[in-house]
Structure 1
């Protein structure tokens, strides 16, 4: 029976069930027609498969699987092969545990360093994100497991992710925020695309016809299904009409009722519902697991995780002190030496098959070291008593190995960081050690940039990002010269947060204006005075050196061919990331001075050389012209930069384009004076941004509005009932966190503590609507609606709604087979 025949035989109730999830992670089975359920689960950093005790946040204990490095580490490796290797491994683990589809990769752009989920994302540049994400999709799907590219689109903060509105001009939307998705869709056809929680230009992503149908399907030729993020649907009928097929986690009686009633009264054509049903049936068929997967090779997957951690680590500074001599004796300072932070918190939290801390790796090598805690990682305040002990022990040492970075107290999915400072207890201790004249080797863990006001005083800075379960072993290999660092930053590290464009406006309201337009990351910072950036995009040191020679540029019809010879001129084997930027011609269209158009990572033994070649289509040089609604390649003089970072240019080459159609600029320059020069970008006003958008923004309104089902939990605290509800919800996380603190040291304590912290900090940012539709019926929609009425003083109306249960037909799996 083919898909069309199945659709014709399905009842309306069966169709309504199929486009809704069930049991948190599954689709609804329809036994009458032999349609099985399929299982999906989190997977951008490794498989997170829950057992029988499932929950809508994915927080209960999961099966033991490989914890791979997070997206930040993959991005800094600049090596799509790493994503391929992880993809194959995750697919094998998925088959073993009966998982049909992985919810990943996550390819959102790192717009602001405070975003709590940046650890999961790959880069501030869409080309890096696209190439890495594409490799993962192809590898997983070649093994017969589905993928879900997320979060579509413009999902760049956590504090307002459930109801916030990303207001962005169409050119920036196309060139920066959609570009990685476009490449992945066109070149790998992922099984599904996951719509984001937030709105884009006033319309929720799950209801956004422009994103889901006009662009994704009609322009890009996407053939798969669109699924919602968990609790990411506001209006089920609008979402179906927009092209959002599967609502997750499902079990929402209110939405099923909406569908049944809308088809019956004609407001939803059944043909629209049928299209979603067809796409879901195709998804189920494409991800059917064939045969029995034997147990996966835990040790092999651990080695893959280790190799990726090594490849993605970034040596940000080295004053000749690294690599270290294994025969020397060291003073090791820092709680993260024993309690390495190797993964993020939230939906991607993995229960690892194995965990190697730096301490374990040092002991396996019989390294002579004296350890002192220095700070407590579960706290951020200065701890003078611990500092005093470190300073006393340090008197006998010249070199200090300091293990630190961001802890779970300051960085997680679900909330944004209030600043980008290193925890005070760590910064205070480092500064005191530097004043004492010590040479500090800072080994850093964390998912995103931090301010380092003492960077000039450090002797070395090795950034491991979040390196996965084998991170301790990878750290030791790099410190002692068993491997050579070869990662480079896939995001700019600013000297202070003040350099971030419009950073003071970030997550201050539900409306988030992307005033910087296309000037994201290095596209902006590289046009400012150099002192604004601590470490530029693409920066990373090595124990060896590389020479760039014999650059060459030719044009072949609609492509330019750029090549150069890379030679390892140092004393160690190593890897180099060759970056190709192209500078745009000066014209009436504002543009960054240069943009990344290609990259290659090459591994060379000492003395070895290789020829690196880039083939760049002229189409890749186009900008999106909002006047004609299409991509335009401008005529003019272009510059090619062969570089080892966005600011370290090794060679410049020039070429000219004269054979393209001349298209007028869509911009009135006099109305956009501060976009013409990036250094004046901070002067852009709301009125100038409105000119760029081509529309007026809603004026900000003062005073408290009536509560709605989209109100943030934090907003409810203005009312007595709201404070009680807020305390009860957040109290669940606080209780779990406090109980975890009393547990003996163990991986389970670590996971429970992270989960408790996640709930405490994430739930206040949730909306009543999202809480309800992500609860799989535990916090029903009528209860949420009734609570809104009560909060607004309409007590009888609210009580009546709470008492009126929403009735829907039995799910097909619970009905007798026909």
Structure 2
């Protein structure tokens, strides 16, 4: 241990105190030993450090910071160097705001298009997500502070995220859901990892020895700090044994006492605590070094320009019939859509950034050179139909050569803590599109949202530009693409299915009660659509340009592939060649092909460049459940170079030597997986793949409610007060949505409805402790007076204890002074 001597000077109480927060955002300090508090701040795409009340959850506005495009947006750039540059600027701002740990990036897979937090994650592909995350992490940590990759792991739904049990087979876990974390740890060298709320195959991730010790610590050799998601600690001792150093937020000393008692009774050895303290001290001391250097406030304008550059590279041109784009000089343009007036530029939840500057479309036209003849909102932002607005929009559209129609999803549709109800654009926006099309068919749609949507209306637009959530400079960036000042170079980091019913996880998303089963296994995103021959709207890796590119002269060697890339068009542009690999053997079930490399290259018109994409340790591997390790199957592999997963330009064959591992599966027992048609796998086949029985997925309504049951389950509680509370919450949610307070309604669902009872203690900063929670559960289970008396008694005991502790602390300070 690096800090053995310092740890020897600590009392058991002091060591235990470091294992949980001091308040909502800072860690505990020990002044007498020179140990300072750390500040942890949300920040996947911008610093969210609230200006007041660090002891509160964080619903107040943050200190102004640059709002960069969200991860889902930047992933479309396929530019690792750009991700690293964004990370550098995020790190600089974090230092300026005295933030030690920046809570991001998020690398959870986009298993299903409806996950409410998809806007905050990179991709459906673990290789792309991992490479982008590693770039972010290197950039952030170049300033001496820590990034924090999250949410570890298999957190792919928001509904019931604090209680759901994810059932997934080991190979799928390794190949799909852990690979991005592996790259973030081993290549990004992240100093901090945040565990997810959910269970993994029956055990909370924060306590899961297989995940936390066998994989993270031993296999990946991670020596950094593990922090819980806020309120994500279940059993503090089990978490400590698994190697979780830091529980956030504070529990006002309650779990510290659990740790002390566990050591005093021999339940755990003090050496376990010492090792956790040592790793935490390393994080504290190394990150605070950043503040000993001379720093000035960051250059707001320069950071805004970087945010603009990031947005420009991430915009995806999806349709351009008749080369309607870029807009020809002198064309009269009608601007229609509420999102043109008030840009949709980020998601909702813990990642909300208070931007330093915010570009809006209507304020940026003059510099763009585009001639606007006027603006009409056209629709109500939150879905209400308004015939007058549609009529006004059509009157304007009739006078224009081209209509720029700004549509998308609103801020409360894509939000942390909630999953989307469908993949549709709101009906009132489609009604507007239909009406405008009837008077002017020259429509260019500008789409603003952080995830995939259905587009049955796509035949009515000639151009389609997807800006995703482009951050504070996104609106100006889109105009630069429309005008031709920027040649679009983004490509989709996720597949857009024709309809939601085509998704492989349709029947098993989201888990509504106890479990969610990942029956589709490794076949998510393009891995499924391509293997099962399901048509899609836009394939993975797709994106148009204002120029064209030709691929030629492929050369394959043992260590990589080389080819020539020519810009055969008339304007300079950037192209993203993608390396896919297909195993020619059918002994082990696999996707038709998998992404194993990519590069982004700028090429002038008429220029040819030689491109090399190297192979790495992940190019040919698969996870073998018999040997319990990564293996390589001896076979011929097709080396594929594509402009997207569906636009294959070059191919070749390479014979690869294998590791000689046994074939892990009986093909006869896994027909769905060997065909790739996994949208309706039966229970018996899934259990064979899993190697275990699938747990019961429904609540046991006969049992009393416990710590890990949610407030939603009060609907069948024995206590009338609990059932009344449930119906009150449901009514409040309905009423708030009815009167237009959808953000508040969402907050009720996220922070109350789906909250486990233990969250009442874990998220209230010590206002309610676990003994008081026992009383609350008695009330919920039908013992009102007994429970109420218990709550009152335990409340008095807690206040008396804290008063005695405060007296002791004052005495201790006086002695040291």
Give the 3-state SS of the residue equivalent to 2:556 in structure 1.
strand
For residues 274-313 of structure 1, the C-alpha deviation after alignment (integer angstroms, 9 at most, x for no partner) is 1111111111011112234211100010000000000001
Contact 1:109 1:124 (8 Å CA) reproduced: yes
- In 2, Cα distance between equivalents of 1:781 and 1:387: 55
User: Within 2, Cα distance between the matches of 1:387 and 1:197?
Assistant: 44
Paired with 2:334 and 2:2, the residues of 1 have a C-alpha distance of 68
Equivalent in the alignment of 1:748: none
Answer yes or no: is the 8 Å Cα contact 1:224–1:283 preserved in 2. yes
Counterpart-to-counterpart distance in 2, 1:150 and 1:383: 41
Residue 756 (structure 1) aligns with: 744
SS in 2 for 1:241: helix
Equivalent in the alignment of 1:423: 426
Instruction: Work out which of the residue numbers 336, 356, 361 in structure 2 matches 1:358.
Output: 361
Match of 1:793 among 771, 775, 782: 782
Q: Deviations over 1:669-710 (max 9, x none)?
A: 2221111101x3223111211110100012345762422222
| TM-score relative to the length of structure 1 | 0.94
Q: State the SS of the aligned residue for 1:259.
A: helix
Change (3 A) 1:91 1:514: same
Are 1:520 and 2:516 counterparts?
no
Q: Spell out the pairing of 1:162-561 with structure 2 (5 A cutoff).
A: 162-288=162-288, 289-319=291-321, 320-365=323-368, 367-377=371-381, 379-436=382-439, 438-507=441-510, 508-529=512-533, 531=535, 533-555=536-558, 559=559, 561=560
Deviations 1:749-776 (A, max 9, x none): xxxx786354134122222222431221
**Does the residue aligned with 1:475 lie in a helix, a strand or coil?**
helix
Give yes or no for contact 1:234–1:769 (8 Å, CA) kept in 2: yes
DSSP-derived class of the 2:422 partner: coil
Deviates more, 1:310-319 or 1:716-725: 716-725
- Kept in 2: contact 1:42–1:348 (CA 8 A): yes
Give the drift of 1:468: 0.2
CA–CA distance in structure 1, aligned partners of residues 242 and 444 of structure 2: 53
Aligned with 1:788: secondary structure? helix
Provide the C-alpha distance between the structure 1 equivalents of 2:724 and 2:696, rounded to a whole number of angstroms.
32
Structure 1 residues 754, 107: closer, same or farther in 2, change over 3 A? farther
SS of residue matched to 1:143: coil
Compared CA separation, residues 70 and 618, structure 1 to 2 (3 A) = closer
The correspondence for 1:773, drawn from 738, 762, 785, is: 762
Unpaired stretches in structure 2, ≥5 consecutive residues: none
CA distance in 2, matches of 1:725, 1:148: 37
> What is residue 600 of structure 1 aligned with on the other side?
599
SS in structure 1 at match of 2:308: helix
Query: Are residues 1:687 and 2:690 paired?
Result: no
In 2: Cα distance, 1:813 partner to 1:193 partner: 32
1:74–1:83 contact (8 Å) kept in structure 2: yes
1:677 and 2:680 are equivalent in the alignment = no
Alpha-carbon distance in structure 1 between the residues aligned to 2:453 and 2:805: 52
1:664 aligned residue: 662
User: 1:782: which partner in 2?
Assistant: 771
Cα RMSD over matched residues? 2.3
Residues 418/131 of structure 1: CA separation in 2 closer, same or farther (3 Å cut): same
Bigger mean CA offset, 568-577 vs 286-295: 286-295
Q: Give the superposition deviation at 1:730.
A: 8.5
Cα pair 2:494 2:541 within 8 Å, conserved: yes
Aligned partners of 1:48 and 1:65 also within 8 Å: yes
1:189, 1:224 within 8 Å by CA — same for their partners in 2?
no
User: Contact conserved, 1:619 with 1:633, CA < 8 A, in 2?
Assistant: no
Match of 2:653 in 1: 654
How far apart are 1:384 and its partner, in Å?
2.8
TM value normalised by structure 2: 0.94
Answer whether contact 1:252 1:773 (CA < 8 A) is retained: no
For 1:135 and 1:304, locate their aligned partners in 2 and report how far apart those are by CA, in whole Å. 16
Q: Is the 8 A contact 1:486 1:575 kept in 2?
A: yes
Structure 1 residues 17 and 456: CA distance shift in structure 2, 3 A: same
C-alpha change, 1:402 and 1:582, in structure 2 (3 Å) is same
Contact 2:732 2:745 in 1 (8 A): no
Partner of 2:627: 628
Once the two structures are TM-superposed, the CA of residue 456 in structure 1 deviates from its matched residue by 2.5
Q: How does 1:683-722 map to 2 (within 5 A)?
A: 683-701=680-698, 704=701, 705-718=703-716, 720-722=720-722
User: 2: CA distance between counterparts of 1:15 and 1:796?
Assistant: 39
**TM-superposed deviation, 1:371:** 1.0
The aligned counterpart of 1:745 is none
Asked if the contact 2:107–2:181 (Cα under 8 Å) also holds between the matched residues in 1, the reply is yes
1:731–1:33 distance in 2 versus 1, CA, 3 Å: farther
In the TM superposition, residue 2 of structure 1 has moved relative to its aligned partner by 6.1
- 1:136: how far off? 1.1
Matches within 5 A, 1:563-642: 563-617=562-616, 620-642=619-641
Secondary structure (helix, strand or coil) at the match of 1:469 reads: helix
1:251 Cα deviation after fit = 2.8
Counterparts in 2 of 1:688 and 1:813: CA distance versus 1, 3 Å:
farther
Do the aligned residues in 1 keep the contact of 2:441 with 2:460 (CA within 8 Å)?
Answer: no
Q: State the secondary structure of the residue aligned to 1:386.
A: helix
Q: Is contact 2:515-2:697 (8 Å) kept?
A: no
Q: Secondary structure at the match of 1:284?
A: helix
Does the Cα contact within 8 Å between 2:332 and 2:401 map onto a contact in 1? Answer: no
- 1:750 paired residue number: none
How big is the shift at 1:466?
0.3
**Which whole-Å CA distance do the structure 1 matches of 2:77 and 2:411 have between them?**
23
| Alignment partners' CA distance in 2, 1:731 and 1:266 | 49
CA drift at 1:550: 1.4
Deviation at 1:141, TM superposition (A): 1.2
The correspondence of residues 79-228 of structure 1 with structure 2, limited to 5 A, is 79-228=79-228
Distance in 2, Cα, partners of 1:562 & 1:614: 5
Distance 1:505 1:32, change over 3 A: same
SS of match in other structure, 1:155: coil
Take 1:141 and 1:787, find their aligned partners in 2: how far apart are those partners?
44
Please say if residues 507 and 679 of structure 2, whose CA atoms lie closer than 8 Å, have aligned partners that are also in contact: no
Separation of aligned partners in 2, 1:647 and 1:162: 37
Q: CA deviation at 1:457?
A: 2.7
Instruction: Report the alpha carbon displacement of residue 618 of structure 1 after superposing the two structures with TM.
Output: 5.8
Of the structure 1 ranges 726-735 and 274-283, higher mean CA displacement relative to structure 2 is found in: 726-735
- The 8 Å contact of residues 13 and 260 in structure 1, kept in 2 or not, is answered as yes
Which shifted more, 82-91 or 698-707? 698-707
SS in structure 2 of the partner of residue 62 of structure 1: coil
- Of the structure 1 ranges 804-813 and 508-517, higher mean CA displacement relative to structure 2 is found in 804-813
Asked if the contact 2:25–2:55 (Cα under 8 Å) also holds between the matched residues in 1, the reply is no
Q: In the aligned structure 2, how far is the partner of 1:728 from the partner of 1:216? A: 43
